[in-house]
Structure 1
Amino acid sequence: MADRKLDGFGQIWMVALILLCNPAAFMVKASLAINETQQQASTSVYNDITVTRNKIVTAQFECYQKLMKENTHSRQEPVCNRTWDGWLCWDDTKAGVTSEQHCPDYFQDFDPSEMVTKICTDSGQWFLHPESNRTWTNYTRCNEHTVEDKWNIFKSLSTAMNLFYLALIGHGLSLTSLLISLAIFFHFKSLSCQRITLHKNLFFSFVLNSVITIILLTAVANNQELVQRNPTSCKVSQFIHLYLFGCNYFWMLCEGIYLHTLIVVAVFAEKQHLMWYYLLGWGFPLIPATIHAVARSYYYNDNCWISSKTSLLYIIHGPICAALLVNLFFLLNIVRVLITKLKVTHQAESSLYMKAVRATLILVPLLGIQYVLLPYKPEGRVSSEIYDYIMHILMHYQGLLVATIFCFFNGEVRQGYALLLFFFFFF
């Protein structure tokens, strides 16, 4: 007597994936299923099937009681007789009328606020489905939106997994290129100068940031059991990550201050005291990171501090944005001074410094553009996905970008390699 087969019945247990896109790291969180979770899921599915079966049996029993108690009144006009369709009970319905009632709550993907329809034809017979030639009740609206929602969830999970691997690949490439760059800087003694020393510290901060980010992605974000236990170690890891993230930008600021002091203030002086740069690059980021940790523990103490839904992150982002703006001002002022000097004196030294400034001037906007784009995330699904991919590339491939511009495109490095190859082939 059942009019409709149970299409899509059952539960699809997917991999639980958390996408956390915070401005500090755009961390993509993923969780892989373990045997214990799968066993719990199987038990839950079995329990749900049992509950559903009991609900249907109870509804069927009540319907048959109702059908037997109510007397059938003789009517002259055609009427579709009361019936049980396998899921719902239907009263007598006049010919040519479509009867409606709310969807049952038997299944998780059924929306009880939607309506089920059953057509009584003009001949006084319930509508027959043309394919099965059996009486048919229209339950399609019950899970119309939930199926769409499940598809959207699946698409979101697929996108999140892609972003997760995009982040891992980005930090892997960054780590490799940065280590190669550091090896080059340490190998060629001719590159030993204060500016290269600043490059080394900048690269080292990006190396440490990539290492801690990979650890967070693979060991913390990928371990829901650890996040649920909320140990102090995962919060310490997040503190270190935010500290190193700040170090990246403040060492970029050190690059800008050094060039500004060298070209504008000290007028091509060769030596500067680097102690202040070490304090700014490695020391100052400890202040906002510590303030954020204390504030987070008191006002938004979520598990492992992985949530980005808190304004406390501005404690980290505020100083970074300030460093970017100050750096941009310094670099524009440097360009102004160098252009003036080149017009007046045409000094070769000014031309060389312009090349050094150009690399930093390119990097600063590239490293800071995500803070400009951040408030303007589009609403549409496709445009939002494109936005996420762009932001992940900007955030997780910074180390590769820094190594490429400051080392691989460096004229002195290329000259050193050319000299090395010359001696290798001819001596």
Structure 2
Amino acid sequence: MDFGDLRFWLRSRITPLNQLVLDPPLPYHFELIVKDCCSAARYCCRNTLVKYHHRRDESPCPATWDGWNCFDSADEGMVNKQCPNYIYGGSNIKADYDRHSKKQCNAGGWELPDGLKEHTDYTGCMQNDDAQAKLIAGVIAYSLSVVFLLPAVVALGFFRPIRKSPMFILHRQLLISCLLYGVFYLCSTTFFVVSFAPLSGQVFENHIFCRVFFSVQLRYLRMTNFSWMLAEAVYLFRLLQTAQHSTDGETMNDYKIACWGVPGVITMIYFIVRGMNDDTGMCWIENSSNAWVEWMIFAPSLLAMGVNLLLLAVVVIILVNKIRCDPHLERIQYTKAVRGAVMLIPVFGVQQLLTIYRIPNTYYQVADQSLNGLQGLFVSLIVCYSNKTVRECFTKWRSTYQEKATLHTECRQRMSIQESGRLILKSPQVTTEHVQL
């Protein structure tokens, strides 16, 4: 048997990883991890180990491959090496450049602890302080938003005078969108992300359920947020641009179909296209390795943000022109316009332009997570809790409720008095005994 026949025989006897049938099965991304690790080992052999053996090197510690990482020859001291991507789940996972593994070089070579084997300390790769800070900031921010959003949604649907008002219909839909995203974020954190999460195994298996779940959260609900913020901007622009425009009879069904339906169609197309072209990764939490696939989500969102920024500028100009009626009060009117524009920023979502570019910095990412999480809180404060119409409806409802409660109490007291009077006026029955003498 020649060498070619031997290679053919070996290939025929080896089963590819993606064709192995095991119980329990290998993680879905296991093949990707092995390929990345083998590629790194091959690169280490060709570019580090071979060169080391072909040069005169008097360093006490030779070049080595420890099974995960490649270390060049080194002098005495601690050698740090960046943690490789594949130990986190594949090349599509972004490694933190601040995390390093450590290997001690002594005068007699690499440190050999118990067992007389080379030792590399990878505990530095497990430090996750930045991710922990982002997680805590996100949980706190979205929890506060959910707490404020839920009563606001109920209030805008409860009070009859504003229930069918077109403007408040838009407000309520935007609040519902923010509320759903916050609830999904807290659920994903609880069931998939935190330590000992009950469904964390599905993430490593790239299970269909978690792929659908994160597609709904990170793609669909995110786009609905942008859609309803765009709807708020467009509707306000229509009101300010056309003074004679009346919206009392509008049901806003067109807005509902566009803002809930269009993101749903785009998300379904994204799910199908990514499943056909890039079905790897941990539940599609990270972006696809094919940039054009993610642009199916990025492009509509960026377009909505750009239009909102333009409409915000136009709305401010219109507000300034409309409220500038008295030259002596011009400064006060400008102050009102600026205050109104600032209040429109979270409603239009313009603040997200500040965090659109992801900077690899812990403080920046915590601030980004906090701003995104608290948007629902700010929107609920602006369109509900600080809204004059909503406060008047609440005051009227509370007064009516108190009047009804007072009237009910008075009726009960009067009925009690009448019952007491009847008992007093009612003559008692006196029993007489006949005594026979």
* Interval of TM-score (by shorter of Structure 1 and Structure 2): 0.5 to 0.7
Distance in 2 of aligned mates of 1:113 and 1:245: 49
2:184 pairs, out of 204, 212, 219, with 212
- Establish whether residue 235 from structure 1 lines up as the match of residue 211 from structure 2: yes
Q: How many residues align?
A: 296
- Establish whether residue 388 from structure 1 lines up as the match of residue 365 from structure 2: yes
Structure 1 pair 246/376, CA: closer, same or farther in 2 (3 Å)? Answer: closer
Identical-residue share of aligned pairs (%): 23
Residue by residue over 1:259-285, the C-alpha shift from the partner in whole angstroms, topping out at 9 and shown as x without a partner, is 112221363423335121112211111
Distance in 2 of aligned mates of 1:355 and 1:195: 21
Q: What corresponds to 2:431 in structure 1?
A: none
Q: Is the 8 A contact 2:148 2:377 kept in 1?
A: yes
- Establish whether residue 196 from structure 1 lines up as the match of residue 178 from structure 2: no
3-state SS of paired residue (2:244): coil
Ranges in structure 2 where 5+ consecutive residues have no aligned partner: 1-57, 78-105, 113-118, 328-332, 407-437
Distance in 2 of aligned mates of 1:332 and 1:292: 32
Deviation, 1:316, is 1.0
Q: What corresponds to 2:392 in structure 1?
A: 415
Distance in 1 of aligned mates of 2:309 and 2:130: 34
Q: What corresponds to 2:20 in structure 1?
A: none
TM alignment of 1:8-407, pairs within 5 A = 101-102=60-61, 113-116=73-76, 138=107, 150-151=123-124, 153-155=125-127, 157-192=128-163, 193-221=165-193, 222=197, 223-241=199-217, 242-265=219-242, 267-271=244-248, 272-302=250-280, 303-308=282-287, 310=289, 311=291, 312-343=293-324, 358=341, 361-364=344-347, 367-375=349-357, 377=359, 384-407=361-384
Amino acid aligned to 2:305:
L
TM-score (norm 2): 0.58
Deviation, 1:414, is 3.1
Q: Is the 8 A contact 1:175 1:210 kept in 2?
A: yes
Moved more, 286-295 or 203-212: 286-295
Amino acid aligned to 1:373:
T
Distance in 2 of aligned mates of 1:246 and 1:211: 16
Distance in 1 of aligned mates of 2:120 and 2:372: 34
Residue by residue over 1:43-91, the C-alpha shift from the partner in whole angstroms, topping out at 9 and shown as x without a partner, is xxxxxxxxxxxxxxxxxxxxxxxxxxxxxxxxxxxxxxxxxxxxxxxxx
Q: What corresponds to 1:31 in structure 2?
A: none
Distance in 1 of aligned mates of 2:59 and 2:324: 85
Q: Is the 8 A contact 1:105 1:111 kept in 2?
A: yes
Structure 1 pair 357/251, CA: closer, same or farther in 2 (3 Å)? Answer: farther
Distance in 2 of aligned mates of 1:191 and 1:355: 27
Deviation, 1:409, is 2.0
Ranges in structure 1 where 5+ consecutive residues have no aligned partner: 1-98, 118-136, 379-383
Distance in 2 of aligned mates of 1:424 and 1:355: 38
Q: Is the 8 A contact 2:153 2:172 kept in 1?
A: yes
Deviation, 1:165, is 2.4
3-state SS of paired residue (2:60): strand
Amino acid aligned to 2:389:
E
RMSD, aligned CA: 3.7
TM-score (norm 1): 0.59
Amino acid aligned to 2:356:
L
Structure 1 pair 105/322, CA: closer, same or farther in 2 (3 Å)? Answer: closer
3-state SS of paired residue (2:324): helix
Deviation, 1:340, is 2.1
Structure 1 pair 106/240, CA: closer, same or farther in 2 (3 Å)? Answer: closer
